[in-house]
Amino acid sequence: MSTPTHDTDRARTTAVVPAPRKAADPPVDDASHRSGNRQTSESEPLGMFGRHAWLIPALGVASTIAVFVSMILLTWIAGGGTPFD
């Protein structure tokens, strides 16, 4: 049989609540004028992806096709009859 606990034991234990932590950086007061879409100035040089916006999705499609073609070719070279068995 176990020893019964008394209500006085529970009353003596107290919970430790930590204090709130300080912020690492001070809050920004005027964040409403900032936007995520930054406009470049005329003197700032543009890269290839900045001049040709269509290049990023085209390279994504081309790389996806290249991965699937290489997967099929490597399966065929390794002796597989059909790649999706």
**Is position 45 within any domain?**
no
Dist CA 85 CA 72 (whole Å): 12
**Is position 21 within any domain?**
no
pLDDT in tens, the chain (85 residues): 567 666 665 656 778 888 888 877 777 766 555 556 666 666 666 788 888 889 999 999 999 999 999 998 888 888 876 666 6
| Domain range for 60 | 50-77
**Alpha helices (runs of H) in 7-54, residue ranges in sequence order:** 7-12, 48-51
**Is position 27 within any domain?**
no
**Is position 11 within any domain?**
no
Predicted TM-score (pTM) above 0.85? no
The number of distinct structural domains making up the chain is 1
**Is position 56 within any domain?**
yes
**Is position 59 within any domain?**
yes
pLDDT in tens, 68-82: 999 988 888 888 766
